[in-house]
Amino acid sequence: MSQYKTDYLDQLESEAIHIMREVAGQFEKPALLFSGGKDSITLVHLALKAFRPGKLPFPLVHIDTGHNFQEALDFRDELAEQLGERLIVRKVEDTIKARHLTEPKGKFASRNALQTYTLLDTIEEFKFDACIGGARRDEEKARAKERIFSVRDEFGQWDPKRQRPELWNTYNGRISKGENVRVFPISNWTELDIWNYIRREKIDLPSIYFSHDRKVLEHEGQLVAISDFIEVEPHDKVSVKRVRYRTVGDMTCTAAVESNASSIDDIIREIVATKTSERGETRIDDRVSEAAMEDRKKNGYF
């Protein structure tokens, strides 16, 4: 038996740090896409491990749909300030005005698709050549096929048929003018790995991840928070429930789960016992069609 043991979390952590350092080594203008959700908070934590005591070699970039949870926005601002790192925020609202985009209509009108425009404009504005994101392969089966270094054309499009072979731990970040790369350092982590790591590293999270009372309406078995961004109709069943969020996206397309979990340990217990996947339980936007994620990614979605 070897005395040099590594736990699986150590291996995942080391792999993610290695990937981030490859980004810093290979690109001129990288960025870290930060949403205030647990996955991107974990990314920031990993980036600190990769580059401290130096400054991060990339800014944190948030594409703000205007439909975010206030708790996540506050957390974002506090974290950036506490770390002394640069935070760039670009608003979907501004893109809609500048480009005369049409707001989606409907009960849960989501700006999810529109954020791709703002993201691509932001990449163009700052000439970012690599964007680090917190996507995981266990989330969805189109993601399960995506490389860690995922090359996008000038329209931000992912072409699953033109993916580069990715061997060993060798990442090819060479691109042509106009192309950019999306980089996913936590590709090989599962939801449970993230929570176990958050527990081990004592990483702070926005309060909405823990159980709290919230006014919600029930829609096809999902609990959607009452906010200015959704249409409440007279026949809707609105009630106050004890909930937490398993993922944090827009208020319009993220559903809450009923829960009394008030600590990380409680949450991990619930996740181990759950029978529904993270996206299946909480993302209204994936229910559109079987290939919803593949199609969004082909169009430049992150």
Partner 1 sequence: MDLLRFITAGSVDDGKSTLIGRLLYDSKSIMIDQLEAIEKQSKNKADGEIDLALLTDGLRAEREQGITIDVAYKYFATPKRKFIIADAPGHIQYTRNMVTGASNADLAIILIDARNGVVEQTRRHSIIASLLNIPHVVVAVNKMDLVNNSQDVYNNIVIDYAEVAKTLGLNDVTYIPISAINGANIVEKSEDFPWYEGASLLHILENVQVENDINHTDARFPVQFVIRPQTDALHDYRGYAGKISSGVYAKGDKVTVLPSGTTSAIKAIEVGGKEVKEAYAPQSVVLHLEDDIDISRGDIIVKTDNQPAVGNEIEVLLCWMDHKPLIPGNKYLLQLNSKTVRSVVKEITYKLDVNSLQQEAFPEKVGLNDVVKATIKTASPIAYDSYKKLRTNGGAILIDETSHVTVGACMIQ
Q: How far is the CB of 154 from partner 1 (least distance, A)?
A: 14
Q: How far is the CB of 262 from partner 1 (least distance, A)?
A: 24
Name residues contacting partner 1, limited to 123-162 (CB under 8 A). 137-138, 140-145, 160-161
Q: Which is nearer to partner 1, 86 or 145 (CB)?
A: 145
Q: How far is the CB of 29 from partner 1 (least distance, A)?
A: 15
Q: Of 102, 105, 106, 170, which lies in the binding site for partner 1, with binding defined by CB under 8 A?
A: 170
Could you report how far apart the first and last alpha carbons of the chain are, in Å?
A: 43
Stretch that binds partner 1, among 54-62, 80-88, 95-103, 255-263 (CB under 8 A): 54-62
What's the chain's Rg over C-alpha atoms?
A: 19
**Is 208 an interacting residue with respect to partner 1 (CB under 8 A)?**
no
Q: How far is the CB of 96 from partner 1 (least distance, A)?
A: 30
Q: How far is the CB of 213 from partner 1 (least distance, A)?
A: 26
| Window 29-48: contact mask with partner 1 (x via CB under 8 A) | -------------------x
Residue spans of alpha helices (H) in 143-242: 191-201
**Is 280 an interacting residue with respect to partner 1 (CB under 8 A)?**
yes
Residue 262, both tokens:
């008030």
Sheet strands side by side (includes 149-152): 87-91, 60-64, 30-33, 130-132, 180-183, 149-152
Q: Of 49, 212, 241, 242, which lies in the binding site for partner 1, with binding defined by CB under 8 A?
A: 49
Q: Of 77, 78, 258, 290, which lies in the binding site for partner 1, with binding defined by CB under 8 A?
A: 290
Q: What angle do CA 298, 24, 180 make, to 5 degrees?
A: 25
Cis peptide bond prior to 53, omega within 30° of 0: yes
Phi-psi region of 146 (alpha: psi -120 to 50; beta: other; left: phi over 0): beta
| Window 91-130: contact mask with partner 1 (x via CB under 8 A) | ----------------------------------------
257 within 8 A of 214, measured Cβ to Cβ: no
Q: Of 71, 121, 154, 166, which lies in the binding site for partner 1, with binding defined by CB under 8 A?
A: 166
The alpha carbon torsion through 137, 275, 75, 8 (nearest 10 deg) reads: -50
Strand bridging mode 149-152 / 180-183: antiparallel
Enter the DSSP assignment of 283.
B
Q: How far is the CB of 37 from partner 1 (least distance, A)?
A: 20
How far is Cα 283 from Cα 294, in angstroms, rounded to an integer? 15
Q: Of 188, 207, 227, 299, which lies in the binding site for partner 1, with binding defined by CB under 8 A?
A: 188
**Is 83 an interacting residue with respect to partner 1 (CB under 8 A)?**
no
Residues 6+ apart with CB under 8 A from 185: 15, 16, 17, 19, 20, 43, 46, 132, 148
Binding site for partner 1 (CB under 8 A): 1-2, 4-8, 10-15, 17-18, 21-22, 24-25, 48-55, 57, 137-138, 140-145, 160-161, 163-170, 172, 174-176, 187-188, 190, 192-193, 274-277, 280-281, 290-291, 294
